[in-house]
A and B are shown apart, each in its own frame.
Chain A
């Protein structure tokens, strides 16, 4: 009986630690965080990272998992590449967007297409932190715990609201890089993207952002 009680207390204690670690509290002064992020992005010239994307649908018991590589280079160069279980590549080079899959490749000008411009601004904004100043399109909430900053963006524009109800961005407190991105749809389905093996300010050749 005593052993049972000890195990129970130990279990509660462990749960308590886990809970306290994941509990986020509101940031009193978000401007400090924004300033810190701005300073950090100034010194970040490139980011290279692996990512795992989990697509959670209410009809599925398990998420659809896809993995790939992500590269960013200043000013506006992004390479977003899925390697498993399918091949899919998105390259953003300033105002040009390039999409390639197994059988097709296509180039778009983000200036001429509103939807692609939004996608472009959103991705770049997440990396350089400019999205946190976009109070016109999003309602922002800032929270933190011991290891992460957690920003919730609630879209204001009707068109985006129909697609996404919330966007969650988690920033690592160590280097203020994005460690997780969660896009919650109306109805509760969501996409979660975790970034790991992050390398900041490594030399990435421009060829990676060329369209071929």
Chain B
């Protein structure tokens, strides 16, 4: 069984468990048995609130059995959620659930949902951090799974397209120093000047740059969708196979929310609070799927 297939099956199970409102798992482990030998052992994280581990057996005939729920209070539960004889049928369920979920995303931005279609505006995306004479200083909290990091984020605009983001601890130790070019115009948009050893993993750096890059998107863009209700205007752009919904309040010059979604699901959400002429007082960034949350609170010196 290929790697792709194992992940494919795992994703299906995660979706099913979500559909069943099976909220108590945060991490999922899969063991694949082929008569007497174990082929693969994988762990994937799924978006649920409480940490617990389910040991899931996928047998050759395609049946799933949750045989053990190690850490949560439902330890005694032994569930047999599905018994599916053919993997083809499983694929079908995956497609249906994916479609269901994607339709949820679409419904959110559907014109029927009290939104009316607007004409495409000629407008620039203005990042809040463009003034190269200013320093933007934020006390920052980063929560990743059960880990918590706090420190100060210094954002400095070097020119219209390049921003430098330096994260230091309150006691002055530098954690990372990343240079981000405008992600809307550049395919390779980040450069790591420094990152402390435990954080210097490729995936982690990519995720950080991707999340922080959203704060630096700036410039002339082509909107592909625009709609509004009585309170808000939604403008959509597409970049790197993702849709970015910039949400403007009525009579607001700049956006107060960004929603990022892929084809099927919402990826992340950024809220800007206390928006004034200079910079937002606080920013909340939620990265779905990874259980990664950022909170930025502006510090005035």
Q: Chain A residues in contact with chain B, CB under 8 A?
A: 53, 55, 57, 59-62, 64-66, 80, 82, 85-86, 88, 90, 101-104, 106, 159, 162-163, 183, 185-187, 189, 191, 193
Contact = CB atoms under 8 A, between A and B. Distances in A.
A86 B156 contact: no
Interface string B165-204: 0101011111000000000000000000110110000000
Contact of B154 (A57, A162, A193): A57
Contact of A64 (B137, B158, B164): B137
Contacts of A102: 139, 297
Contacts of A64: 137, 152, 154, 301
B164 A104 contact: no
A61 B135 CA distance: 9
B141 interface: yes
Contacts of B164: 59
Interface of B: 135, 137, 139, 141, 148, 150, 152, 154, 156, 158, 164, 166, 168, 170-174, 193-194, 196-197, 297, 299-301
B166 A163 contact: no
Contacts of B139: 86, 101-102
Contact of A65 (B135, B141, B301): B301
B154 A59 contact: yes
Given A101-B141, A185-B174, 20 more contacts: A55-B172, A57-B154, A57-B166, A57-B168, A59-B154, A59-B158, A59-B166, A60-B154, A62-B135, A85-B301, A86-B299, A88-B171, A102-B139, A103-B141, A104-B141, A106-B148, A183-B172, A187-B193, A191-B172, A191-B173
A13 B301 CA distance: 37
15 contacts: A55-B172, A57-B154, A57-B168, A60-B154, A64-B137, A64-B152, A64-B301, A90-B171, A101-B141, A104-B148, A163-B174, A163-B196, A183-B173, A186-B194, A191-B173
Nearest to A158: B197
A60 B135 contact: yes
A193 to B, nearest CB: 8
Nearest to B149: A104
Nearest to A106: B148
A64 B153 CA distance: 11
Contacts of A162: 196-197
B168 A55 contact: yes
Given A55-B168, A64-B301, A185-B174, A101 B154 contact: no
